[in-house]
Amino acid sequence: MEIKIPYGKDQIKFNIPNNWRLIDIQEPKQKKPIPKNQISSIVKNSLLNPINHKSLKDSIKKDDKVVIVVDDITRPTPTQLIVEPLIDFLLKDIGLKKDNIKIIFALGVHRNMTQDEAVIKLGLNIAKKISWENHYCKHNLTDLGTSFLKTPIKINKNFIDADFKIVIGLIEPHPWAGFSGGYKAVMPGLSGLNTIIKNHELILKSNVKVGNIQNNPFRNDIDEIGKKTNLNFIINCILDSNKELCKIVAGDPKDAFLEGVKVARQNFEIKTSEIADVIIASSSPIDINFGQSCKAAFNTMDILKKNGVMIIVSPCFEGIGKNTITKRILGRKVIKFFTLILPSKILMKIIRLQSDIIELSAGAFQILKFVSKNQLIFLSDGLTEEEKKTLFIVDHVKHPEEAISSAQKILDKNGKKPIKVAIFPQGGCTYPSIKK
How far, rounded to the nearest angstrom, does the alpha carbon of residue 284 sit from its chain's CA centroid? 11
Task: Check: CB of residue 423 under 8 Å from CB of residue 26.
Answer: yes
Burial group, residue 121, by CB count within 10 angstroms (0-12, 13-18, 19+): buried
What pLDDT score does 363 carry?
72
Mean pLDDT, to the nearest integer, of 50-71? 97
Each residue of 342-376: pLDDT tens digit? Answer: 666 676 766 666 655 445 567 777 788 788 888 99
Give the Cα separation of 311 and 303 in Å (integer): 14
Give the Cα separation of 77 and 173 in Å (integer): 14
Q: What is the pTM of this model?
A: 0.86
Identify the DSSP state of 183: G
What pLDDT score does 340 carry?
67
| Domain coordinates in residue numbering, the chain | 2-27+273-434, 36-267
Topology (CATH) of 2-27+273-434: 2-enoyl-CoA Hydratase; Chain A, domain 1 (3.90.226)
Give the Cα separation of 410 and 274 in Å (integer): 21
* pLDDT surpassing 70 at residue 277: yes
Angle at 363 between CA 237 and CA 380, to 5 degrees: 80
Burial group, residue 402, by CB count within 10 angstroms (0-12, 13-18, 19+): middle
Task: Check: CB of residue 313 under 8 Å from CB of residue 7.
Answer: yes
In which band, very low, low, confident or very high, does the pLDDT at 288 lie, cut at 50, 70 and 90?
confident
Each residue of 333-348: pLDDT tens digit? Answer: 666 666 666 666 676 7
* The dihedral sign for the CA sequence 119, 121, 123, 127: negative
Give the best-scoring range by mean pLDDT among 182-186, 204-208, 329-333, 361-365.
182-186
Task: Check: CB of residue 299 under 8 Å from CB of residue 314.
Answer: no
How high is the mean pLDDT of the chain? 90
Pick left, alpha or beta for residue 396 (phi over 0 → left; psi -120 to 50 → alpha; otherwise beta).
Answer: beta
* pLDDT surpassing 60 at residue 253: yes
Give the Cα separation of 1 and 10 in Å (integer): 20
Residue count of the chain, please give it: 436
Mean pLDDT, to the nearest integer, of 394-408? 94
**What is the pairing mode between strands 245-251 and 233-239?**
antiparallel
**CATH class for domain 36-267?**
alpha beta
Mean pLDDT, to the nearest integer, of 108-121? 94
* pLDDT surpassing 50 at residue 56: yes
Task: Check: CB of residue 246 under 8 Å from CB of residue 252.
Answer: no
**What is the pairing mode between strands 233-239 and 164-170?**
parallel
Alpha carbon distances (Å) from 26 to 239, 333, 339, 386: 17, 32, 30, 33
